[in-house]
Amino acid sequence: MTQTVKAAKKTSSAKAKATPEAKAKAPAQPKEKAPAVTKAAPEVKKPSSKKKQALAFPFTAIVGQEEMKLSLILNIIDPRIGGVLVMGHRGTGKSTTVRALAEVLPLITRVKDDIYNRTVEQYVEAESGKKGAAAINPEDVKTELIPVPVVDLPLGATEDRVCGTIDIEKALTSGVKAFEPGLLAQSNRGFLYIDEVNLLDDHLVDVLLDVAASGKNVVEREGISIRHPARFVLVGSGNPEEGELRPQLLDRFGLHARIITINDVSKRVDIVKRRREYDEDPEAYLKKCTREQQKLQKKIVAAQELLTQVSMDDKVLTDIARLCMNLGIDGHRGELTITRTAYAFAAYKGQTTVTMEHVKEIAGLCLRHRLRKDPLETVDAGEKIDRELAKVLGEAEVTA
């Protein structure tokens, strides 16, 4: 039986900082006197992108599937778009693409060794106000650059690992109550990826919905009371034939990319060749793609910077609203998503004004999953959107 003693792997340097939350909020337990809570810090977990340094197929070498790639890139440029749901055929590179994402992501600044990847402002704001804690001078806070974290949430994850829980080892051996952060903490300001998202257990879906809506993870369990920021870009993938996605979760995703099998022989030959070349010598292949990868990364960073300068004409906004109305989309998430996505798309193209041309290209991504489902409908959602879009554009031209 293969066994590894986990404790042996722990580094003492991990105890760098105390978890102020655990310290500050002594839980109110009615029945018993709360045990002394010490300053001991939970083990600092590195973002999982570092933990599993398994090589990934390069993002820029993925043939076709532009819709999925664009959706992911737009979400890097503006995380407020709200994530991507990638649904489609088996074996079309859904998870390969998402896992390849890590390599083209820009770097972010976080407080050094902060388990929640917080910025200095967030850190100071959260920690300064604590009872008994001295005010922190932002200039004293050490920072570091890390790649945007990509956290993989496996289907078999238990709730305690997702939300975080008490560190049982410390609790048992030293009677100390320390918080062990979960995947939600790791994914703050990054990407949270769920493969086969349509098969995720109900109770985990509930947790995700709750956290995604509030941007905060609140843990009240095993005598621990902690709240920490958990803002992440939710990326899910799956095959619709394996089961449907819960409507509330579906609605959470900003964009919905659809993937189908490529039926072009030469493209498929190309895919196979690239894959074989990669399999033969992954490192050499990655090296070959480095320039392309860096180019894309630069383009994304440039778009992020440009985003603040992008503007949109009121007329375009009116057209977007009319499109959503004509399609009978409930709520306002449709308009909001289109607007944000169009901004990001314009920035990605290096332009500072959003036009209906931009909207046209991304409307399907934003609205496809928001159309009301009509059981008797035989028209594809994408076609329906295109049709309405043409109408809106036509009208717009006439009135102009």
Partner 1 sequence: MIAFTDIVGMDLAKQALMLLAVDPSLGGVVIPSAVGSGKSTLARAFADILPDGTPFVELPLNVTEDRLIGGVDLEATLASGQRVVQHGVLSKAHKGVLYVDSLSLLDSSAVSHIMDAMSRGLVLVEREGLSEVHPANFMLVGTYDPSDGEVRMGLLDRIGIIVPFTAQNDYRARKKIVSIVMGTRDRDDTEDELRMLRGLIEAAKVQLSHVSMTNEQIKGLIQTAISLGVEGNRVDIFAIRAAIASAALAQRTEVEDEDLKLAMKLVLVPRATRMPEREATDEEMAQDEPPPPDEEQPEAEDENAPPDEPDADADEEQEETPDMIEELMMDAMETELPDNILNISLASKKKAKSGSRGEALNNRRGRFVRAQEGEMKSGKVALIPTLISAAPWQHSRRQDKKMAGRPAGALIINKEDVKIKKFRDKSGTLFIFMVDASGSMALNRMRQAKGAVASLLQNAYVHRDQVALISFRGKQAQVLLPPSQSVDRAKRELDVLPTGGGTPLASALFTGWETAKQARTKGISQIMFVMITDGRGNIPLQAAYDPNAEKAPKEELEKEIEALALSIQADGVASIVIDTQMNYLSRGEAPKLAQKLGGRYFYLPNAKAEQIVEAALS
- Which 8-state DSSP code applies to residue 337? H
Question: Rg for the chain (alpha carbons), in Å?
Answer: 23
> Binding pattern to partner 1, positions 222-241, x when CB under 8 A?
xx---------------xxx
The encoded tokens of residue 20 equal: 């102020």
Calculate the alpha carbon distances from 18 to 15, 21, 52, 69, 114 in Å: 7, 9, 26, 40, 10
Q: Check 333, 340, 372, 387 and give the catalytic one.
A: 333
Identify whether 333 is a catalytic site residue.
yes
Can you tell me the distance from the alpha carbon of 151 to that of 193, in angstroms, rounded to the nearest whole number?
6
Least Å distance, CB 155 to partner 1, is: 5
Using alpha carbons only, what angle is made at residue 226 by residues 198 and 123, rounded to the nearest 5 degrees? 100
- Which 8-state DSSP code applies to residue 140? G
The encoded tokens of residue 147 equal: 């790649």
Q: Considering beta carbons, is residue 126 or 224 the nearer one to partner 1?
A: 224
- Which 8-state DSSP code applies to residue 301? H
Least Å distance, CB 338 to partner 1, is: 24
Q: Which residues in 165-224 contact partner 1 (CB under 8 A)?
A: 165-169, 171-173, 175, 177, 180, 182-183, 195-196, 198-203, 222-223
Residue 395 main-chain phi, psi, to 5 deg:
-60, -45
The encoded tokens of residue 219 equal: 């843990």
Calculate the alpha carbon distances from 63 to 101, 239, 264, 269 in Å: 14, 20, 11, 10
* Consecutive H or E run containing 343: helix 333-348
The encoded tokens of residue 180 equal: 């062990």
Contacts of 247 (CB under 8 A, 6+ apart): none
> Binding pattern to partner 1, positions 265-304, x when CB under 8 A?
x--xx-xxx-xx--x-------------------------
Q: Binding partner 1 by CB under 8 A: which of 13, 137, 378, 399? A: 378
Give me the sign of the Cα torsion angle 364, 370, 372, 377: positive
Q: Which stretch binds partner 1 (CB under 8 A): 104-112, 207-215, 259-267, 323-331?
A: 259-267
Give me the sign of the Cα torsion angle 63, 67, 71, 74: positive
Q: Considering beta carbons, is residue 125 or 281 the nearer one to partner 1?
A: 281
Q: Considering beta carbons, is residue 241 or 383 the nearer one to partner 1?
A: 241
Q: Binding partner 1 by CB under 8 A: which of 17, 25, 45, 216? A: 45
Is residue 382 within the footprint of partner 1 (CB under 8 A)? Answer: no
Q: Considering beta carbons, is residue 340 or 368 the nearer one to partner 1?
A: 368
Binding residue count for partner 1, defined by CB under 8 A: 81
Least Å distance, CB 243 to partner 1, is: 4
Residue 203 CB coordination number (10 Å) = 11
> Binding pattern to partner 1, positions 131-170, x when CB under 8 A?
---------------------xxxxxxxxxxx--xxxxx-
Least Å distance, CB 8 to partner 1, is: 8
Longest dimension (CA), the chain: 76
Q: Binding partner 1 by CB under 8 A: which of 129, 138, 215, 243? A: 243
Q: Which residues in 329-358 contact partner 1 (CB under 8 A)?
A: none
Least Å distance, CB 21 to partner 1, is: 16
Query: Nearest Cα to 190, choosing from 232, 220, 130?
Result: 232
Q: Which residues in 3-32 contact partner 1 (CB under 8 A)?
A: 3-7, 31-32
Q: Which residues in 52-111 contact partner 1 (CB under 8 A)?
A: 52, 54, 89-93, 95
Least Å distance, CB 42 to partner 1, is: 11
Can you tell me the distance from the alpha carbon of 24 to that of 30, in angstroms, rounded to the nearest whole number?
18
Q: Considering beta carbons, is residue 19 or 339 the nearer one to partner 1?
A: 19
Least Å distance, CB 111 to partner 1, is: 21
Question: What residues are annotated to the active site?
Answer: 333
